[in-house]
Amino acid sequence: MIKIGTLLEIKKQAAEIKRMYEEDPRTKTFNALIYGSLKTGKTSILRTCPKPVLVHSFDPSGTLVLRDLIEKGEILADTRFEHEDPFKPSACQLWEKEFNYLYRKEFFKHVGTFAIDSMTTWASIIMNEVIRRAAKTKKNREIGGAPQQQDWLLQMSFIENYTRKFLSLPCHCVLLGHADQQKDENGANVGDLSIMITGKLRERIPALFSEIYYLRIKDYKQGTRELLTQQVYGVQAGSRLGFGGKLEKTEPPDIKKIMAKCGLDTSDKPLFSELEYEEETITTTATNT
């Protein structure tokens, strides 16, 4: 038998844990890693996400397919990170400063979906920054030079740390990437088709996401596409939200419809142009002397 005092304390702690879970906005958000081959329409998927969408774009001209929604204010596209000169790298510093500024200012509370497009070019500008820093302190290194073995570990650490911070945001999160398959020394494919990323991050980064979807062409003649949501031989995919048969093995590339099937709220937040400010009331207390 449990003593009455101990039992009450146990119940109190259990209730507190339950309360924290229910009040944590991240338990109600959608986070997905979506990857596919070139020109399969990965960026276009952002059109179907809860609005407003903020996309940090690293792919040159990648946001052209979103232009109409950008003009309407439904999507904000920060394209400053698209154009990088490896011999004068600056995009990574600019992105890190901007992301952390928005994080501190709680900007993401007003975002429906935040997206990084794409992992491939994001990782590239991170490597440029790693090499730039090495060139500042080591005589045998130069900006724009080839990566050395120790650079890959620094790049991987940066990617993993910021991916964790990315997934801690109080909004839906989507990371887009390109498909890749590792090859052996003879050029033969080995392992599963997965997101293009460095070394061990091929397993460690997808493990952080609830949803891993592979975008592929369904019908080339009609130009239709589909998202593979479950693991099949040779392709990395999976869904935690889709447990119990909520999702089919393949789904149309519509994020809101997938979220609805999984029981998530698909509501949009107010567009930034619709936000209103509240007057701050300053109360002073007069002191008699």
pLDDT at residue 10 in the model: 75
Q: Residue 183 CA to chain centroid, in angstroms?
A: 27
Flag whether 68 is in a domain: yes
The answer to whether position 20 is within a domain reads no
Residue with structure tokens 């149309």?
252
**C-alpha count within 13 angstroms, C-beta hemisphere, residue 257:** 12
Q: Which residues pair with 78 in a beta bridge?
A: 56
Flag whether 106 is in a domain.
yes
Is the pLDDT at 286 greater than 50? The verdict is no
More confident residue, 241 or 221: 241
d(CA 164, CA 149): 24
Task: Report, as an integer, the average pLDDT of 194-220.
Answer: 93
Give pLDDT, residue 287: 46
* Residue 289 pLDDT: 40
pLDDT band at residue 205, thresholds of 50, 70 and 90? very high
Residue 284 reports pLDDT greater than 90:
no
Residue 215 domain flag:
yes
- Please name the residues in contact with 154: beta carbons below 8 A apart, sequence gap of 6 or more: 130
Residue 158: is its pLDDT beyond 50? Answer: yes
pLDDT at 6: 78
Total of domains in the chain: 1
Phi, psi of 139 (to 5 degrees): -70, -30
Is the distance from CB of 212 to CB of 200 less than 8 angstroms?
Answer: no
Give the CA angle between residues 60, 61, 63 to the nearest 5°.
120
Q: What angle do CA 61, 67, 68 make, to 5 degrees?
A: 165
Confidence of residue 34 (pLDDT cuts 50, 70, 90): very high
- With respect to residue 177, please indicate whether it lies within any of the assigned structural domains: yes
Domain that holds residue 126: 27-274
Largest CA distance in the chain: 89
Query: Looking at the predicted structure, is the pLDDT value of residue 1 above 80?
Result: no
Is residue 139 assigned to a domain? yes
The reported pLDDT for the residue numbered 26 is 62
Residue range 46-61: mean pLDDT, rounded: 97
Query: % helix / strand / coil in the chain, to the nearest 5?
Result: 40, 20, 40
Q: What's the confidence (pLDDT) of residue 25?
A: 61
Query: Can you name the residues that pair with 180 across neighbouring β-strands?
Result: 194
In CATH, what number is assigned to the domain containing residue 203? 3.40.50
Q: Is the pLDDT reported for residue 277 higher than 80?
A: no
pLDDT exceeds cutoff 80 at 112: yes
Instruction: State the DSSP code for 250.
Output: E
Q: How far apart are CA 223 and CA 247, in angstroms?
A: 23
| Average pLDDT estimate for 134-149 | 92
Q: Assess if residue 58 is contained within a domain.
A: yes
How large a percentage of the chain has pLDDT more than 70?
Answer: 91
Which spans in the chain are helix H?
A: 4-23, 67-72, 91-104, 119-137, 149-166, 201-204, 255-261
**Residue 48 domain-assigned?**
yes
